[in-house]
Amino acid sequence: MSRTFAIRLFAGILLLTGSWIAYTQNTGKQPPQLTLNKVKDDLYEIEGDGGNVAVYITNEGVILIDDKFDQDHDQILEKVKSVTNQPIKYILSTHYHADHSGGNAKFLPTAEIISTANARTNIEKHIQSNAPPGVMPAKVVFTTESAVFLGGKEVRARYFGRGHTNGDAMMYFPALRTLHTGDMMAGTSPLIDYPGGGSVVEWTKTLDAVMNSGWDFDTVIPGHGPVTTKANLMTYRNNVEKLRTRAASVIREGKSMDELGKVMTAEFGWMPGSLQFQWSLPGMMTELK
Amino acid sequence: MSRTLFVRLSAGILALTGVWIAHTQNPQAPPQLSLEKIKDDLYVIVGDGGNVAVYPTNEGTILIDDKFERDYGDIMAKVKSVTSQPVKYVLNTHQHGDHTGGNEKMRGSSAEIISHSNARANMVEQKMPGLARVTFNDQTEVFLGGKEVRARYFGRGHTNGDVAIYFPALRVLHTGDLFTIGMSKAPVTIAPFIDYNGKGSAMEWTKTLDGILNSGWDFDVVIPGHGPISKREDLVKYRQNFESMRNRVTSMLHDGKGKDDVTRTLMSDFGWADGGNGMRQLDAMIAELKR
């Protein structure tokens, strides 16, 4: 074998190996691009892929609300690094779903994660049917209210009752008059996770409780969708009530679940086969009977 | 000034300075602590401040309270004698410095400190160091290495921020100072310290203990805030005694008796010490019981 040939062969192998590594490490789908928006001084939110992540910067570390899917971990870190050198010290979880708590496993070694007791139980029992394996629960849980104090700043987390699940916490930034609702407000129409202890009857009561809690806020970070206002949270609450009233009347007329589904699609935009069809319709048939 | 005199004078000053430094820097070594094993993997560190519970797991160690700041070194030595796992969590039973004094140093070695929101608020008000970064209002739980510890607020008593701590797998309760007994073990009737500055209450205290006893928490062993490891019956006895004391004082006040009579009765019939923590709060207790 000539020397030139050997070099060429070697180079060829190297190239192929490189391509193979690039291919396997980067299988098809990249996680969707996330975007970072400034909400108030020292408060940002990261949108895209999973639920909205709030980023609260202090001079002793960063507090996050939620951590999206496992696949978003690196991008979340990158976004946080673009606005502060401080490490992520705390993550407060709004609820157990993998699009909000999916990053827990990767963050747990370096951050304290705090959730409601029910959110932990739901993760441990693998209640979410479509969750990827390996979602890790918080090590510290609370029943009614918890607060985190860091670098002279404060975030409060409180359980106001059932709604999206049986373990939704809403988060309050007192100094910034801002609320993170988790999925108690998300998109345009509620997803009631009955297997996870959700309730369309309790949902409006729970939103009323946060409205009447004495928490003084004007800005609302919803679980999904753009940052909005307290007035829009009220509109959302009234829509949940409208949906519940409509569904109850359909069910009490003796209509079937299929028929209820058609009404929900026509009037509230629920798509056949969606999680709303899978998780919400059967439970509503029972709860609103 | 002759050179000899100058040397002697300097030496004298130096010696005095040395004595002064030794005196101020090292007034007394902190009292020796001792470690007692109470269940398979639960220990209590007794001595100096409040009783510290030590719960090792394979992901780290959970402590209940951390005594005075000066006890930090000895606490860590005692923990190291039973586990190589670092202290990851410290749950505070309440705000007093003989239970939270080590918080600052514990956090320095990267432990998470957790307390009741009222306990933290009291510490802020009284400008105490070692504030918890994580607080709760009702109940919190810590899960570590497959083990669990619960802390719950049952109401006012010793202060307005006392939490009782429960180890479900071991059937053990840590009461903080809602229950304290003398080291002699003899009188269960050691005077309760109702810290009115810390918003404690003689009226609420027994209700709070009833809350614990009726909580559904299943325990047989009780770690008091101070004093030897006890049983559930001892806690019940303490609660009954508290009620008798309160009823007696209330009826004396009703009969128009004054502070002096009350003091005598508390000392003769209820084992209260003259000038003790309980006695120092007597005016405030009388005011509460007259209401």
Cβ atoms of B177 and B156 within 8 Å: the answer is: no
Cβ–Cβ gap B139/A143 under 8 Å: yes
Q: Which of B153, B203, B205 is nearest to B179 (CA)?
A: B205
Cβ distance A141 to B141 less than 8 Å, yes or no, reads: yes
H or E stretch at B208:
helix B202-213
- A165 interfacial to chain B (CB closer than 8 Å): no
Residue A39's pLDDT is: 98
In tens, the pLDDT along B14-41 reads 554 444 444 444 456 778 999 999 999 9
A197's torsion region: left (phi>0), alpha (psi -120 to 50) or beta?
left
B149 chain-A contacts, CB cut-off 8 A: none
Supply φ then ψ for residue B233, to 5 degrees.
-60, -35
Average pLDDT over residues A214-220: 98
Cα B149 to Cα B49: distance, rounded to the nearest angstrom: 22
Q: What is the pLDDT of residues B28-87, one digit of tens each?
A: 677 899 999 999 999 999 999 999 999 999 999 999 999 999 999 999 999 999 999 999
pTM listed for this prediction: 0.89
Other Cβ atoms less than 10 A from the Cβ of A231: the count is 10
Q: Which of A90, A142, A149 sits opposite B139 (nearest CB)?
A: A142
Cβ contact (<8 Å) for B135 and A146? yes
Which residue has tokens 């007329």? Answer: A253
Average pLDDT over residues A130-153: 97
Residues of A in Cβ contact (< 8 Å) with B133: 90, 148-150
Looking at residue B10, what is its pLDDT? 58
List, for residues A171-194, the tens digit of each pLDDT value: 999 999 999 999 999 999 999 999
Range of lowest pLDDT (A264-268, B16-20, B149-153, B264-268)? B16-20
Tokens representing A22?
Answer: 């690039």
Distance from CA of A41 to the nearest CA of B (A): 22
Which of A112, A139, A148 lies closest to B143 in CB terms?
A139
Q: What local confidence, expressed as pLDDT, does residue B31 receive?
A: 86
| Residue B24, pLDDT score | 46
Rounded to whole angstroms, the Cα distance separating A52 from A57 reads 16
Sequence-distant (≥ 6) Cβ neighbours of residue A67 within 8 angstroms: A53, A73, A76, A91, A93, A100, A101, A102, A103, A104, A107
Indicate the pLDDT class of residue B283, thresholds 50, 70 and 90.
Answer: very high
CA–CA separation, A1 and B94 (whole Å): 81
Amino acid B27 reads P
Neighbours of B125 (CB within 10 A): 12
The single residue listed with the structure tokens 């059967």 is: A282
Q: Is A102 helix (H, G, I), strand (E, B) or coil?
A: coil
Average pLDDT, chain B: 90
pLDDT at B188: 47
Phi, psi of A230 (to 5 degrees): -60, -40
Q: What's phi and psi for A27, nearest 5 deg?
A: -65, 105
Residue A104 has pLDDT above 90, yes or no: yes
pLDDT band per the 50, 70, 90 thresholds, residue A20:
very low
What is the band of B187 on the pLDDT scale with cuts at 50, 70, 90? Answer: very low
Residue B12: partners with Cβ closer than 8 Å, 6 or more residues away? none
Residue pLDDT, tens place only, A189-206: 999 999 999 999 999 999
Which of B197, B207, B156 shows the shortest CA–CA distance to B177? B156
Residues of B with CB under 8 A from a CB of A: 89, 112, 114, 117, 120, 131-144
pLDDT band per the 50, 70, 90 thresholds, residue A8:
low
Rg of chain B's alpha carbons, rounded to an integer?
A: 22
A223 by DSSP, 3-state: which? coil
Q: Looking at residues A246-265, what average pLDDT do you find?
A: 98
* Residue closest to A72 by CA, chosen among A13, A35, A31, A39: A31
Q: Which residues of B touch A149 (CB under 8 A)?
A: 120, 131-135
Measure the CA–CA gap between B138 and A160, rounded to whole angstroms: 13
**What mean pLDDT value characterizes chain A?**
93
**Closest chain B residue to A140 measured between Cα atoms?**
B142
With beta carbons under 8 A apart, name residues in chain A contacting B138: 142-145
ipTM above 0.90, yes or no: no
- Residue B186 predicted with pLDDT over 50: no
Q: Count chain A–chain B contacts defined by CB atoms under 8 A.
A: 60
Task: Name which of A199, A189, A274 is nearest A237 in CA terms.
Answer: A189
The reply to whether residue A149 touches residue B132, judged by beta carbons under 8 angstroms, is yes
Residues in chain A closer than 8 A to B114 (CB atoms): 140
Instruction: Among A39-43, A211-215, B11-15, B72-76, name the one with the lowest average pLDDT.
Output: B11-15
Residues of chain B contacting residue A147, judged by C-beta atoms under 8 Å apart: 117, 134-136
* Nearest CA among B281, B269, B220, B199 for reference residue B241: B269
**Which residue type, as a one-letter code, is found at position B11?**
A
Q: What is the pLDDT of residue B84?
A: 97
Beta strand A61-65 with A53-58 is antiparallel
- B291 — pLDDT class (breaks 50, 70, 90): confident
Structure confidence at residue B13 (pLDDT): 53
